[in-house]
Structure 1
Amino acid sequence: MTRFAVIGLDHRHVYDLTAGLLEAGMTCAGYWPDTTDKRVLQGFCKRFPDLAAVLDRRRLIEDPAVDVIVTAAVPRNRAPLAIEAMRHGKDVLTDKPGVTGVAQLDAVVQAVAETGRIFSICFSERFQVPAVEAALELVRNGAIGAVVQTVNLAPHRLNPAIRPAWFFEPDAFGGILCDIGSHQIDQFLVFTGSEDTHVASSTVASVGPLPCAGFHNFGEIVLRSERAMGYVRVDWFTPDGLPGWGDGRLIVVGTEGSIEVRKYLDLDGRAGSDHLFLTDRQGVRHLGCADRPITFFRNFAADVAARGESAMAQEHVFAVCRLALEAQARAKRLVLPGGRPLP
């Protein structure tokens, strides 16, 4: 029986990571209750009342019976924790971003090479959105021909009152492109099958009133590869009136058709999430994908047992991290007034 331990209860994504591994048949050996946000710990205890708190962090790291360390720690702490875990024989599953700097990425790459352990990041906007996985299957089956471009729109709700202090410290979370943008870079790479991708341009902006000085609430990335182009927009402008935390969309343009995924809601009024619209020579079809099973966690569990890469290739993880860090580091920085709308 594969066993995992949870260290890093600092972001609510830890709920999905834990639930996913439990549903995949893994056993939780316990969790370290230290946190920067007591509300996350309270939510974790409410969701998983049968899991045991372990006050000694080192006990979980050094336990030879623990196979995997799961973390949603403060982002700047994830890579050091992952390296420590891998050097104690553990595989690692982390929330995004897995790294917040080039030096961290280099150290993780070295640790993976030296230990043979798995360093995986759950890019939830793909792995936990059934409609995105359905779209990827259609693309790989040739439904829209060769992919020309992907467009990812990823608005988020800020909810500043419930965010911990580190959320507003760029050194702590890596910046808006390193953080949210990593999801969209992951999707560009898999949908286009690109091997040689670079950041053509990137921008971050501070628009209007801010929760703190220097906070970037808008970002964009233009990607180019040997076979396709991509555009990414990320922001913290989801209005409170939207029934969900963001109207995330993925558009895939092919030589023989296009796909649009409305990940979390449909503004046209269809209920639920995971709406896929396929347009090709036969017309326009709507596919509801909410009932499609999520396979990432079972694949990850299988990879831990068999030392495989069915969930995600290790080099893909590193490629996403490199591009996200490059986009963040090279981004043009803008300050825009925002405030009152134009007459």
Structure 2
Amino acid sequence: MQQRFAVIGLDHRHVYDLTEQLTEAGMACAGYWPVTTDPRVLEGFRKRFPHIPEVADKDRLLDDPAIQVIVTAAVPCDRAALAIAAMRRGKDVMADKPGVTTPAQLAEVEKVVAETGRIFSVCFSERFLTPSTEMALKLVRDGAIGPVIQTVGLGPHRLNRAIRPAWFWQRDAAGGILVDIASHQIDQFIVFTDSQRPEVAAASVGSYAVGDGFEDFGEILLRSERATGYLRVDWFTPDGMPAWGDGRLTILGTEGTIELRKYLDLEGRPGTDHLFLADGKGTRHIGCEGLPLSYFRAFAADVANRTETAMPQAHVFTVCRLALEAQARAQRVPMQAAPA
């Protein structure tokens, strides 16, 4: 029998990718709840998926025993409560990042997962939607650059001020820049270094240009029992850039390095997903655009088989915990001058 999912929470455009990729993985979308804080997202969803029925009552979707999975890209602060409601009704959950925005939400989600045995998965799209990252992880696990001792992850984003919904500017709704977008780089640090005890060594956030205290810059220094990592996220991608951000990941091994240019090769090769490998034999470029993605098919298999092949549940919680901790500990820059 074909697996079915429903979409509740059309508040971020990432919902398009989640829906498309789960469909390509063989699941069927049984319906979606059309309530949204951003009518543009709803309009885009209708255009992309005209065959998917709208369901005015979200409880019909939550209570439908023929639906196995709830997918959500709701306002970030609302995702945990929705996920909990879904899991308590026997559904697995795939959420856009961030899956939670407060420590209390994380604790409650962990509790409900333990009680129900349901899956709470967060789609870290800068890994799961970029085939170059998947290729890099395969190379690392095959020993191409030796043990990894550091990662440097850069996550610049275009602000797109004119089309952002009201919740985007509210710290309590979005969670802060480190909770909102730095989870991508935290996730990658852990998997590429195979760290078992990652921790936040330092963190900073800044409000440089947007105003009203909005965090447009963030950085975290991570360390573990075997590696260190630095990550920077920001909302400063210039309008002249042909992509929403020049996302990069540099992986330092004891026998070589890998650099990913995920969304463009600036003034170089066309397309996305560029991997550059340097080792004892020389340097080479590996084009990864169009290579298959594994996360969504693995998630569908996990739903069917009650396994954790797409991503261990503990990993999801660790990434969420570190992002929340970094946000709470972050020093604000630029530093305010001391009073005379």
Which category describes the TM-score, using the shorter chain as reference length? over 0.9
Alpha-carbon deviations, 1:169-192, whole Å to 9, x = none? 010011100111000000000000
* SS of equivalent residue, structure 1 residue 310: coil
Matched with 2:23 is: 22
Matched with 1:144 is: 145
- Structure 2 distance, partners of 1:267, 1:284, is 18
* Identity %, equivalent residues: 68
Q: Map of 1:77-92 to 2, 5 A cutoff?
A: 77-92=78-93
Matched with 1:286 is: 285
Moved over 4 A (4+): none
Q: Map of 1:232-243 to 2, 5 A cutoff?
A: 232-243=231-242
Matched with 2:52 is: 51
Tell me if structure 2 keeps the 8 A contact 1:207–1:336.
Answer: no
Q: Map of 1:127-142 to 2, 5 A cutoff?
A: 127-142=128-143
Alignment-mate amino acid for residue 102 of structure 1: P
Q: Map of 1:18-167 to 2, 5 A cutoff?
A: 18-167=19-168
- Structure 2 distance, partners of 1:335, 1:146, is 36
Alignment-mate amino acid for residue 158 of structure 1: L
1:334 Cα deviation (Å)? 1.9
* SS of equivalent residue, structure 1 residue 260: strand
1:221 Cα deviation (Å)? 0.2
1:335 Cα deviation (Å)? 3.9
- Structure 1 distance, partners of 2:58, 2:168, is 24
Matched with 2:172 is: 171
Q: Map of 1:242-261 to 2, 5 A cutoff?
A: 242-261=241-260
* SS of equivalent residue, structure 2 residue 299: helix
Q: Map of 1:213-228 to 2, 5 A cutoff?
A: 213-228=212-227
* SS of equivalent residue, structure 2 residue 207: strand
- Structure 2 distance, partners of 1:182, 1:206, is 19
1:283 Cα deviation (Å)? 0.3
2:302 matches 1:299: no
- Structure 1 distance, partners of 2:13, 2:334, is 30
Tell me if structure 2 keeps the 8 A contact 1:93–1:119.
Answer: yes
Tell me if structure 2 keeps the 8 A contact 1:181–1:324.
Answer: yes
Matched with 2:261 is: 262
Matched with 2:205 is: 204
* SS of equivalent residue, structure 2 residue 333: strand
- Structure 2 distance, partners of 1:303, 1:333, is 41
> Number of residues paired by the alignment?
335
1:64 Cα deviation (Å)? 1.1
- Structure 2 distance, partners of 1:53, 1:267, is 41
1:238 Cα deviation (Å)? 0.3
- Structure 2 distance, partners of 1:198, 1:335, is 24
- Structure 2 distance, partners of 1:132, 1:69, is 26
- Structure 2 distance, partners of 1:21, 1:200, is 36
- Structure 2 distance, partners of 1:255, 1:215, is 39
* SS of equivalent residue, structure 2 residue 35: coil
CA RMSD after TM alignment: 0.9
Alignment-mate amino acid for residue 261 of structure 1: L
- Structure 2 distance, partners of 1:134, 1:68, is 28
* SS of equivalent residue, structure 1 residue 300: helix
1:81 Cα deviation (Å)? 0.2
- Structure 2 distance, partners of 1:3, 1:111, is 22
- Structure 2 distance, partners of 1:164, 1:320, is 26
Alignment-mate amino acid for residue 125 of structure 1: E
Alpha-carbon deviations, 1:261-281, whole Å to 9, x = none? 000000141010000000000
- Structure 1 distance, partners of 2:130, 2:274, is 10
Alpha-carbon deviations, 1:267-311, whole Å to 9, x = none? 141010000000000000000001210111111001000011111
* SS of equivalent residue, structure 1 residue 134: helix
Gapped runs of 5+ residues in structure 1? 338-343
- Structure 2 distance, partners of 1:179, 1:138, is 29
Tell me if structure 2 keeps the 8 A contact 1:203–1:333.
Answer: yes
Alpha-carbon deviations, 1:218-253, whole Å to 9, x = none? 000000000000000000000000100000000000
Q: TM-score, normalised by structure 2?
A: 0.97
Alpha-carbon deviations, 1:138-182, whole Å to 9, x = none? 000000001010000111000010000000001001110011100
- Structure 1 distance, partners of 2:51, 2:334, is 48
2:28 matches 1:5: no
Matched with 2:183 is: 182
Alignment-mate amino acid for residue 41 of structure 1: L
